[in-house]
């Protein structure tokens, strides 16, 4: 299921990145976004350590509470950008 959700999320994320960042800094923003794949792998390794020391139930509760906290912070601070702010101006058609 995670592959299905990620395949839907990526185009939306790239669209928001293109509306938030100027074309000259867009590659850096995309790189930071894609860094999440590797950070997720690192966090899964930490999760294995937590499961062996705390147990799987408490580990899942900690991860869930952390995810809810990040979600709330995201809802508060990430606002909908103006669409097409960095797009070149369109030519007007004279009839």
Q: What is the average pLDDT across 72-78? A: 91
Tens digits of per-residue pLDDT, 43-55? 888 888 999 999 9
Which residues, including other chains, have CB under 8 Å from residue 14's CB and lie 6 or more apart?
30, 33
What's the pLDDT at 42? 85
């Amino acid at each position: 299921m995670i592959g299905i959700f990620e395949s839907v999320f990526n185009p939306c994320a790239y669209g928001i990145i293109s509306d938030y960042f100027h074309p000259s800094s867009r590659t850096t923003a995309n790189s930071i976004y894609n860094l999440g794949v590797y950070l997720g792998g690192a966090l899964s390794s930490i999760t294995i350590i937590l499961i062996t020391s705390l147990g799987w139930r408490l580990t899942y509760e900690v991860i869930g509470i952390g995810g809810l906290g990040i979600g709330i912070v995201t809802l508060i601070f990430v606002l909908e950008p103006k669409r097409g702010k960095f797009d070149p101006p369109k030519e007007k058609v004279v009839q």
